[in-house]
Amino acid sequence: MMYDKETYHYIFLHFPIALFSVGYLFNVFAFFLKDELLDKFGFWNLGLGIISGIISIITGFITDNVIVGHMTDPFPIWYTHGSHMIIAIIIFYLFFILKFYWGSLIKDKYLLFLHTLLLLFFIHGTHIGAKLADRI
């Protein structure tokens, strides 16, 4: 049985939330325990979170066209869920590249601080989406 088109966003949106959050926890543990394996787990959770985030954005556009229509006015991004999440995924992608190429050259505490800010920005966007869907 196929779901309605707009249902897929509600299914997929949980994956980037979980992957970004768990990846962050791995990075926190890696920072305090100085464990390189945990850092790799955090890195790959970040990468999978980006991929699932892109899928969530695509399904979000489908849902927006069917139900909500808030992306007709995508600004200001601080109050528009779709724009906020697109920017969040782009920034997470840039952070992923930063960690991949220059992660060993940059002090870990700066990367962890940046990762904290990115996760807070992402969580704010998910909060806007929950309000948009009347979940809170």
Cα–Cα distance for residue pair 106/54, rounded to 1 Å: 27
pTM value is 0.88
Cα–Cα distance for residue pair 95/115, rounded to 1 Å: 8
DSSP state of 2: P
Helix (H, G, I), strand (E, B) or coil at 23: helix
Q: Do the beta carbons of residue 82 and residue 39 sit within 8 Å?
A: no
Structure tokens that stand for 125 in this block: 């966007």
pLDDT tens for the chain, 136 residues: list them.
566 766 788 889 999 999 999 999 999 999 999 898 999 999 999 999 999 999 999 998 888 776 666 667 767 777 788 899 999 999 999 999 999 988 765 677 888 999 999 999 999 999 988 887 777 7
DSSP state of 73: S
